[in-house]
Structure formats: C-alpha cells, structure tokens
C-alpha cells in the first residue's frame, strides 16, 4: 500500500502546496510576522482589566465586521502581538455575548481556545488564520445578539463583595442554591483571594454538575481556564463571572429545590464515588476493560454506566482504560449519527478529561469519571435515531487505499467529502502501515483543512478536541479513535470558506 519514506519527509510532503488538494495556498500570510509557539503562556498577574488590552477590545467591539480584519492587520503591523490580540477577542466575547444559552452564538467564546490550539499546531506562518477566524466569529455573534437584544456584562458592585475569609464558603453556598447575585459577588472575591488551581477545583465540579446545554458547561469551564493560562490570570474576574453565570443556567424550576433529570446523575454519583477503592489512581491498562465499558455505554442507563466505572476501578483497572472506553463510546456516537449532539459527546468528554487531568481533589476526579460515563449515555439517549449495531468503532474494518505514501492522505481527505465510512476505514489502514508519521500527517492535514474549509465554531472545537484526544487514548485504541473523527472533519472537496479570501484581501 505504501513505499518507505523518511518520517519528516512523509509528514512535510503530505502538507506541501499542491500535494494535498484542498489545503489552499496561505503564502499571503507571509506579510505578517510569524508567531512563535513560545508565545503561549504568561505568568499570573493581578486580577484587573488593564489599559493594555481595553483599547483593543473596544476596537474589536466597535469596528464593523467588513472592516475588522483590515483594522486587525494594521494593528499587527504596528506591533500588536498574538497573545494580546487573542486576549482582546476573547474578552470582547466575554463582555458582550451573554453566556445563555451556553452555545449557539456564544461559541465565539467557547471556541477561542480551540482556535488557539489550532494555531499552535499549525506552521508558524499560518497561525494568524485562527485569530482572524476568531475575530470574524465574534462579529457574527455580536450581530446575532444585537438582533436578539443587546447584552453587556453588568458593572461589579465592589461594596457588596464578601471578605476574603468568606469567599469560598459564600461561593459554594450560592452555587449550591443556584443564586445568581450571590455567586456573582462571591466569584470575584474568590478570584482575588485564592490561586488559579484552587479556583479551578471548584469550577471543575460545577461544570460537571448537570447535563443542561449538552455538555457546554463543562466545555466552557475547561476552555475558559485554558485560555486564561494563555492570556494571563489578571483577566480572570470578568471571565469567571461569565463562566459562573453560564453554570447557573437552568429552566424555570430552581434545581436546588427540585428533583430534575439533568441533576440526578450528580447526586447519585456523589454516593457512588465513595465506593471506589483506595488507590484507584493506578491499575492495569486493559484494552478489554475499555471494550467492556464501551459495550455498557451502548445500552446502559446513566446510573448503570457509572456503576460500571466503579466496578472496573475496583477490579484494579487503570483510569486510562476507563477513559479509553469513554472516548471510544463518544466517537462511536459520531459514527452512528454525525451531527451536533454526537459532536458534543466528543467535545464534552475532552473537557471532562482535561478537568480530570488538571484537578487535584480525589473526590472531584472520581466524580468527573462517573459524570463522563453518565453524560455519554445521556448523549446517546438524546439522539433521535440510531441503532447501536449500525456502526461499531471496535469492529470497524480496514479498507485498502489506492495510492502510495503521502498520496494516501490526499485520498482519505478526498473521501471525507464524499464517503466518510470509507475515509475512516482507510485511515485505519494508513495508521496500521505508517504508524506515528501517518498519524502526524493526518492530524496536520486535518487541522489545515479546518483553516481552509471550516464553516463554523464546531469545526474548530471538534478538530482541536479530537486531535488532542488522539494522544490521550492509549495506543491499542488510538487509531480507531482517530478514524472515527473522519465522520466530522472537513474534506478536501468541501467548499472553501469566505475567510481565506477576506484575510488575503486585508493583508494585501
């Protein structure tokens, strides 16, 4: 099926202009300074909305959509760097786009970190495209919100903040009571009195507390903190006010005073978590255990799926195999019924896994696994149609591709546009024959096609989550997980998006 190639040559060749149809020519980006991947993080600073970014935020807010890319390009030429522009577009979304419902036009905020991940993974010369997309996405969301009724984050009433020694207690009490005003005051005091890690511990729990908004609450928690790690903790106050407001979104009845279906898994899992053995953090990495959990997710109720996780952990199965089963189950839902619901099963598990990796509290980490198992079932139950036997990720068969070497990548992404199941089967064959270099070429091509072909925030959100989680899945199952992503990634035959032409015009 293929001929030997040097690994670097294979990956580089698969991305060369003209080699992979549909990737596009981004040479016009050479007019901008290249972004170094080392621009990614900063040390935490004091919590404030500083004058360094406020004028740029206002420029983004006030400039008409058709003129913003030109204005942004001019600022970049004046010396505005990648990190500062990322900060400004993210904060513009936080200040202007109401995080309720947690989705829809709010994706300009939810997908900001996904765009950043896409930028980091891209060649230096291409990284500006992700930020230009984020700018344009904000203006589109701003227009939608304006038609629905303008909203701006209200001014904080400093005089009513709780003291530092009561901040945590007040925050927990207000969140548990679903008290919006009390939470808004407490979260600011919490940010000012505790460090980022301690604050994340609390938000990780509440992000996984309920299934409302099909997982977007957990997604917002993960992506907000990840973005703050990039733009600086000094911006945490407005960001986490927005996150807390999103987490308290619910229907008419106060969940603290009612027994509602989206809240039951959390309440049940609080009791179930206590039955997990001590020392659960390490065990045997067992592919069969992952397959066992995958099978349970196909038919189980949320409580039964969570109970299966407890059973595996108590039989000394490693958490990595538990997460394997959850990643596979989410990918299989996408194979069965590609769409918004199944797509969010993938991005939600990505967010919950990030929280699991980042949190330090033992109970919180147990709860994140149990909630993830329940969430996948709830995603499955939300699908309008779909037979569990229709598509199975663990029995997907390879299909030979008809070209050699790097041309196989082109063949696969051409199939993505016309025959996704064939693309998935050929991906399995490519990865079996080419291993790590085949995977790297597939990931690189997939990311670049999002720049050129991506239509909305879901393309950025999904591609960043699925490609990151390819490496979070253990090697036994990794190739199958990547194969399932062919059911949503952009193909080389898809129509180019409008942003490329507009960005080119702005830069010339």
Each residue of 195-214: pLDDT tens digit? 999 999 999 999 999 999 99
Average pLDDT over residues 218-230: 97
72, part of any domain: yes
Q: Is 248 exposed, middle or buried (0-12, 13-18, 19+ CB in 10 A)?
A: buried
What is the rounded distance in angstroms from the CA atom of residue 31 to the CA atom of residue 346?
36
In this prediction, residue 33 has a pLDDT band, given cuts at 50, 70 and 90, of low
* pLDDT for position 406: 77
294, part of any domain: yes
158, part of any domain: yes
Whether 9 has a pLDDT exceeding 60, the answer reads no
Structure tokens that stand for 406 in this block: 């790097």
Do the Cβ atoms of 483 and 397 come closer than 8 Å? Answer: no
Same domain, 243 and 275: no
In this prediction, residue 506 has a pLDDT band, given cuts at 50, 70 and 90, of confident
Structure tokens that stand for 218 in this block: 């957990």
Q: Is 97 exposed, middle or buried (0-12, 13-18, 19+ CB in 10 A)?
A: buried
For residue 506, what is the enclosing H or E element? helix 499-507
CA-CA distances (angstroms) from residue 126 to 11, 25, 133, 404, 444?
Answer: 16, 10, 12, 27, 12
DSSP 8-state class, residue 134 = H
Same domain, 203 and 80: yes
Average pLDDT over residues 327-352: 97
Query: Which among 312, 267, 301 is positioned nearest to 377, based on CA atoms?
Result: 301
Angle, helix 196-207 to helix 340-358, in steps of 10 degrees: 140
* pLDDT for position 22: 67
Domain termination site, one of 331, 359, 382: 382
CA-CA distances (angstroms) from residue 110 to 115, 166, 226?
Answer: 10, 30, 11
3-state helix, strand, coil in the chain (%, to 5): 70, 0, 30
Q: Kindly give, in sequence order, each residue whose CB lies less than 8 Å from that of residue 174, ignoring residues fewer than 6 positions away.
A: 182, 183, 185, 186
Same domain, 302 and 237: no
Query: Which among 456, 451, 481 is positioned nearest to 467, based on CA atoms?
Result: 481
User: CA angle, 371 as apex, 367 and 373 as ends, to 5°?
Assistant: 120
Average pLDDT over residues 358-376: 98
Do the Cβ atoms of 26 and 68 come closer than 8 Å? Answer: no
Chain centroid, CA 321 distance in Å = 21
What is the rounded distance in angstroms from the CA atom of residue 404 to the CA atom of residue 158?
65
Whether 41 has a pLDDT exceeding 50, the answer reads no
What is the rounded distance in angstroms from the CA atom of residue 420 to the CA atom of residue 414?
9
105, part of any domain: yes
What is the rounded distance in angstroms from the CA atom of residue 40 to the CA atom of residue 83?
7
Structure tokens that stand for 19 in this block: 């080699």
Same domain, 240 and 102: yes
How many structural domains does the chain have?
2
Max Cα separation, the chain? 70
User: Is residue 162 helix, strand or coil?
Assistant: coil
Domain termination site, one of 382, 416, 442: 382
Chain centroid, CA 138 distance in Å = 17
Q: What is the pTM of this model?
A: 0.91
Average pLDDT over residues 81-92: 95
Average pLDDT over residues 477-496: 97
Q: Give bridge partners of residue 317 from the DSSP assignment.
A: 284
Listed in order, strand segments (DSSP E) in 209-275 are none
Same domain, 272 and 363: yes
Do the Cβ atoms of 231 and 394 come closer than 8 Å? Answer: no
Radius of gyration of the chain (CA): 23
Domain that holds residue 314: 259-382
Same domain, 281 and 247: no
163, part of any domain: yes
Same domain, 322 and 203: no
Same domain, 271 and 221: no
Same domain, 213 and 340: no
Whether 21 has a pLDDT exceeding 80, the answer reads no
In this prediction, residue 146 has a pLDDT band, given cuts at 50, 70 and 90, of confident
User: Is residue 284 helix, strand or coil?
Assistant: strand
Same domain, 235 and 284: no
458, part of any domain: no
400, part of any domain: no
Same domain, 279 and 188: no
CA-CA distances (angstroms) from residue 488 to 220, 413, 417, 461, 484?
Answer: 21, 11, 10, 11, 8
CA-CA distances (angstroms) from residue 105 to 21, 93, 108, 312?
Answer: 31, 10, 6, 40
Mean pLDDT of the chain: 90
Helix segments in 401-473, DSSP class H: 407-416, 420-453, 457-470
Each residue of 376-431: pLDDT tens digit? 999 999 997 655 457 999 999 999 988 887 799 999 999 999 999 999 999 999 99
Same domain, 293 and 327: yes
Q: Residue 383's CB: how many other CB atoms inside 10 A?
A: 14
DSSP 8-state class, residue 34 = P
Domain termination site, one of 234, 256, 278: 256
User: CA angle, 188 as apex, 185 and 193 as ends, to 5°?
Assistant: 125
Average pLDDT over residues 2-29: 56
Whether 44 has a pLDDT exceeding 50, the answer reads no
Structure tokens that stand for 216 in this block: 């977007």
* pLDDT for position 3: 44
342, part of any domain: yes
């Amino acid at each position: 099926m293929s001929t030997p190639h040097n690994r670097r040559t294979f990956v580089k060749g698969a991305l060369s202009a003209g080699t992979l149809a549909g990737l596009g020519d981004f040479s016009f980006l050479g007019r901008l300074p290249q972004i170094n991947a080392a621009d990614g993080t900063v040390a935490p600073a004091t919590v404030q909305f500083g004058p360094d970014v406020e004028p740029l935020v206002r420029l983004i807010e006030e400039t008409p959509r058709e003129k913003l890319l030109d204005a942004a390009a001019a600022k970049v030429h004046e010396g505005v760097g990648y990190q500062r522009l990322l900060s400004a577009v993210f904060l513009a979304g936080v200040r202007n786009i109401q995080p309720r419902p947690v989705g829809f036009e709010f994706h300009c905020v939810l997908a900001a970190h996904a765009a950043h991940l896409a930028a980091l993974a891209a060649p230096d010369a291409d990284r500006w495209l992700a930020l230009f997309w984020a700018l344009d996405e904000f203006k589109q969301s701003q227009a939608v919100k304006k038609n629905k009724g303008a909203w701006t984050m209200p001014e904080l009433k400093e005089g009513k903040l709780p003291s530092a020694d009561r901040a945590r207690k007040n925050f927990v009490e207000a969140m548990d009571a679903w008290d919006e005003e009390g939470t808004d005051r407490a979260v600011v005091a919490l940010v000012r009195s505790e460090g980022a890690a301690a604050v994340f511990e609390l938000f990780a729990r509440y992000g996984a507390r309920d299934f409302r908004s099909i997982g977007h609450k957990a997604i917002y928690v993960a992506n907000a903190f990840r973005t703050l790690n990039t733009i600086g903790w000094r911006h945490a106050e407005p960001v986490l006010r927005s996150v807390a407001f999103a987490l308290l979104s619910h229907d008419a009845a106060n969940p603290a005073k009612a027994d509602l279906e989206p809240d039951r898994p959390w309440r049940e899992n609080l009791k179930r978590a206590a039955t997990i053995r001590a020392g659960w953090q390490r065990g045997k990495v067992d592919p069969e255990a992952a397959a066992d959990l995958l099978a349970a997710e196909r038919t189980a109720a949320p409580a039964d799926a969570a109970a299966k996780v407890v059973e595996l952990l108590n039989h000394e199965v490693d958490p990595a195999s538990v997460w394997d089963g959850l990643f596979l189950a989410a990918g299989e839902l996408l194979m069965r019924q590609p769409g918004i619901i199944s797509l969010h099963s993938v991005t939600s598990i990505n967010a919950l896994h990030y929280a699991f990796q980042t949190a330090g509290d033992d109970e919180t980490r147990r709860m994140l696994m149990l909630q993830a198992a329940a969430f996948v079932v709830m995603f499955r139950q939300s699908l309008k149609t779909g037979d569990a036997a229709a598509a199975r990720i663990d029995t997907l068969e390879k299909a030979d591709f008809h070209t050699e070497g790097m041309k196989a990548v082109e063949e696969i992404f051409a199939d993505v546009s016309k025959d996704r199941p064939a693309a998935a089967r050929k991906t399995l064959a490519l990865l079996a024959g080419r291993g790590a270099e085949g995977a790297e070429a597939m990931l690189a091509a997939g990311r670049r096609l999002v720049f050129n072909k991506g239509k909305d925030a879901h393309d950025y959100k999904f591609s960043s989550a699925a490609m990151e989680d390819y490496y979070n899945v253990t090697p036994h199952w990794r190739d199958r997980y990547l194969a399932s992503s062919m059911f949503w990634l952009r193909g080389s035959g898809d129509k180019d998006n409008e942003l490329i032409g507009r960005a080119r015009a702005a830069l010339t």
